[in-house]
Amino acid sequence: MAHEEIEIDTDDLQRRMDGAMTALKHEFASLRTGRASASIVDPIQVEAYGQMTPINQLGTVNVPEPRMVVINVWDKAMVGKVEKAIRESGIGINPVTDGPLIRLPIPELNEERRKQLSKVAAGYAENAKIAIRNVRRDGMDQIKKAKAAGMSEDDQKMWADEVQEITDKAIAAVDKALEVKQAEIMQV
């Protein structure tokens, strides 16, 4: 009796590991470094026209210089609400309003705050690694099930090696992203 070839869906595992990396990049973008970034206002929602709306849907967000984010609010009636949402967001930046423009001067980070942000970044990276390892465990479980269904020892080894390889690459990508982010945070 011939066994049909048993496949492990490594594309699905890869996609799920990539998802952990995407989530990590999004979390890293919300961390304030000493440099201005338009993504600093991404998580802030404003009550506009009866619903919660992201700032980038109420105006143009620009970074004209390394320590300044400028929001050009399209509807003058919304300027006050956008300014209030920024003040109440907890990003620790005092908006300066000038007509339809809201300027966000990015203060220098002190050493203590840099170390704190660096630890937060490391925590985000660790969560991403845990998610990746969970996906790896799923892959290894699939291989165990395939073994029970008659997968050969050689195929088991080949699939296990492939799952481990994509896991190692994903973990290395997280480590590299963390290294880059921490260097960015510590840069004076």
Q: Can you give the pLDDT of all 188 residues of the chain as single tens digits?
A: 344 567 889 999 999 999 999 999 888 877 767 777 888 888 788 998 889 999 999 999 999 988 899 999 999 999 999 999 988 876 778 899 999 999 999 887 788 888 888 888 999 999 999 999 999 999 999 999 999 999 999 999 999 999 999 999 999 999 999 999 999 888 76
Q: Which fold has domain 38-105?
A: Gyrase A; domain 2 (3.30.1360)
Residue ranges per domain, the chain? 11-29+110-186, 38-105
The H or E element spanning position 143 is helix 111-148
Global pTM exceeds 0.85: no
In DSSP terms, 62 is beta-bridged to 70
What would the two tokens of residue 134 be? 């969970």
Q: DSSP secondary-structure letter at 3?
A: P
CATH 1.10.132.20 fits 11-29+110-186, yes or no: yes
84: left (phi over 0), alpha (psi -120 to 50) or beta: alpha
CA–CA gap between residue 60 and residue 184 (Å, rounded)? 25
